[in-house]
C-alpha cells in the first residue's frame, strides 16, 4: 500500500532524530496524519518544532523496544542511534533497539495491511571488499568489534524483516542508507561532515583520522527523504534498496571543500578507529530503475545549508553559556 494522494495514518519511530524529523515534515507536507514516537535518547524536540505546528502531528514519548499500541497504515522505523559516538556509548541499547525494535514493528504490522519501511544502513557492508557496494553484496563485518552493536544489529534486523515477509507475508521494505548530512545533524555526533563544519566554525583544527584517503559518498537529507518516501510506491518491493549519493570523495577532499567555504584549514591527524571502512560508495542502479531515484543536491550546495544551520545553533549555544 503506497503513500498515494489519500491521507493515511503514518507512524515514524525515531521521529525526533535527524532523519526522522525531516521525514515527519515531508509526510505532513504530503497531507498525512503522522504519529511520532521517540524516547529522546539521541533525538531532540527542537527537531520537531515545525512538525509540532501541525494539528495532524501527534508525538508520543516511547521506546520502540516496547509493544507498539498504535494503528498505522505505514510504519517508518527510524529508531536507533546512528553515529559512532552515540551508538558506541551504550552498545546493548543500540543492539536491542535495532533487533527488538524490528520485532515490535513486525508485531504491529502482522495481520494488517500495513507497510514497514525500515531504515537499515550502508554499515551492513562493513569494510567492503566490493566497490561500489550493490545490494547483492553480503558485506565484510567484524561481529565482535567496536562497531558491531550497530552493524550486526542492523544486519539482524534485516534478517527478522525478511523472515517476516517469507513467513507471514509482512510487507517489509528495507532501505540501506548511505552517509547523509544536512540541517538538524547533531553538532557533536562525531561524523566527519559535522566534525569538519563545527571545527571550522569554531576555529579548531579539522580532525582527519588515518591518512584521509578513505572515501565516503554524501547524500543531502532532502534527497534521502525523497528516496525513502518512494520506497512505498511500488506495489511490491522485494529485497533491500541502497539510497545515497554515488559521488565519491576522499576525507581530505571533503576537508578542502569545508576549508574553501569557511576559510579555515588547520588540520590534525589521528589514528584510524578500529574497523573504520576504507571505502563507501553506493551502487544505486536498483534505486534508479525501481524507484526512479536520482539525487539532485551537490555536496558544495548542501554544505552551504549545513554551515548556516550549524552557525545559527552554535551562536545560540554561545549566547546561552554563562
287: domain range?
9-181+218-246+281-296
Phi, then psi, of 217 in degrees rounded to 5: -125, 125
> Residue 10 and residue 76: Cα distance in Å, rounded?
8
Q: Alpha-carbon torsion 279, 80, 316, 268, what sign? A: negative
> Residue 244 and residue 318: Cα distance in Å, rounded?
34
Cα 301-302-308 angle, rounded to 5 deg:
100
Q: Mark the ranges of the chain whose per-residue pLDDT is less than 50.
A: 1
Amino acid 277: pLDDT: 85
Indicate the angle between helix axes 91-109 and 148-168, nearest 10 degrees. Answer: 10
Q: Please check whether residue 222 is in contact with residue 182, taking contact to mean a CB–CB distance below 8 angstroms.
A: yes
Q: Please check whether residue 32 is in contact with residue 57, taking contact to mean a CB–CB distance below 8 angstroms.
A: no
Query: Is 305 inside any structural domain?
Result: no
Amino acid 264: pLDDT: 85
Query: Is 62 inside any structural domain?
Result: yes
Q: What is the DSSP letter of 136?
A: T
Retrieve residue 221's grid coordinates.
537529507
pLDDT tens column, 14-24: 999 999 999 99
Query: Is 254 inside any structural domain?
Result: no
Query: Is 255 inside any structural domain?
Result: no
Amino acid 85: pLDDT: 87
Query: Is 111 inside any structural domain?
Result: yes
Amino acid 48: pLDDT: 98
Phi, then psi, of 268 in degrees rounded to 5: -125, 140
Query: Is 109 inside any structural domain?
Result: yes
> Residue 258 and residue 288: Cα distance in Å, rounded?
29
List CB contacts of 48: < 8 A, sequence separation 6 or more. Answer: 15, 16, 21, 24, 36, 57, 59
CATH code for position 37: 3.40.50.720
CA atoms within 13 A on the CB side of 15: 29
Retrieve residue 200's grid coordinates.
571550522
Amino acid 322: pLDDT: 66
pLDDT tens column, 186-216: 998 889 999 999 999 999 999 999 999 999 9
List CB contacts of 52: < 8 A, sequence separation 6 or more. Answer: 45, 59
Q: What is the DSSP letter of 140?
A: B
Query: Is 134 inside any structural domain?
Result: yes
For the chain, the domain total comes to: 1
13 three-class SS: strand
> Residue 136 and residue 118: Cα distance in Å, rounded?
18
- Residue 242 pairs in a beta bridge with 176
- Give the residue numbers marked as catalytic: 150
Per-residue CA distances from 290 to 213, 246, 293, 297 (Å): 33, 17, 8, 21
Query: Is 169 inside any structural domain?
Result: yes
Amino acid 2: pLDDT: 58
DSSP H or E run through 254: helix 251-262
> Residue 128 and residue 278: Cα distance in Å, rounded?
8
Amino acid 3: pLDDT: 66
Amino acid at each position: 500500500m503506497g503513500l498515494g494522494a489519500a491521507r493515511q495514518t503514518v507512524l515514524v519511530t525515531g521521529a525526533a532524530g535527524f532523519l526522522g524529523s525531516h521525514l515527519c515534515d515531508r509526510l505532513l507536507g504530503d497531507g498525512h496524519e503522522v504519529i511520532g514516537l521517540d524516547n529522546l535518547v539521541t533525538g531532540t524536540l527542537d527537531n520537531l518544532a515545525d512538525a509540532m505546528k501541525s494539528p495532524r502531528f501527534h508525538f508520543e514519548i516511547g521506546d520502540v523496544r516496547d509493544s507498539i499500541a498504535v494503528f498505522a497504515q505505514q510504519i517508518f522505523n527510524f529508531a536507533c542511534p546512528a553515529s559512532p559516538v552515540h551508538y558506541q556509548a551504550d552498545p546493548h541499547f543500540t543492539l536491542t533497539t535495532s533487533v527488538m525494535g524490528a520485532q515490535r514493528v513486525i508485531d504491529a504490522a502482522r495481520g494488517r495491511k500495513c507497510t514497514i519501511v525500515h531504515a537499515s544502513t550502508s554499515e551492513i557492508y562493513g569494510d567492503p571488499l566490493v566497490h561500489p557496494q550493490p545490494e547483492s553484496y553480503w558485506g565484510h563485518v567484524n561481529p565482535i568489534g567496536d562497531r558491531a552493536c550497530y552493524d550486526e544489529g542492523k544486519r539482524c534486523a534485516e534478517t527478522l524483516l525478511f523472515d517476516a515477509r517469507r513467513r507471514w507475508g509482512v510487507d517489509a521494505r528495507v532501505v540501506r542508507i548511505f552517509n547523509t548530512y544536512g540541517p538538524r545533524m547533531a553538532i557533536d555526533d562525531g561524523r566527519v561532515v559535522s566534525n569538519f563544519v563545527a571545527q571550522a566554525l569554531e576555529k579548531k583544527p579539522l580532525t582527519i583520522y588515518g591518512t584521509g584517503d578513505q572515501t565516503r559518498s554524501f547524500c543531502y537529507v532532502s534527497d534521502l527523504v525523497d528516496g525513502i518516501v518512494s520506497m512505498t510506491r511500488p506495489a511490491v518491493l522485494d529485497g533491500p534498496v541502497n539510497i545515497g549519493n554515488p559521488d565519491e570523495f576522499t576525507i581530505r577532499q571533503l576537508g578542502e571543500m569545508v576549508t574553501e567555504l569557511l576559510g579555515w584549514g588547520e588540520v590534525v591527524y589521528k589514528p584510524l578507529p578500529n574497523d573504520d571502512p576504507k571505502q563507501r560508495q553506493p551502487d544505486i542502479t536498483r534505486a534508479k530503475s525501481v524507484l526512479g531515484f536520482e539525487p539532485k543536491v551537490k555536496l558544495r550546495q548542501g554544505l552551504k545549508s549545513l554551515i548556516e544551520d550549524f552557525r545559527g545553533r552554535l551562536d545560540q549555544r554561545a549566547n546561552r553559556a554563562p
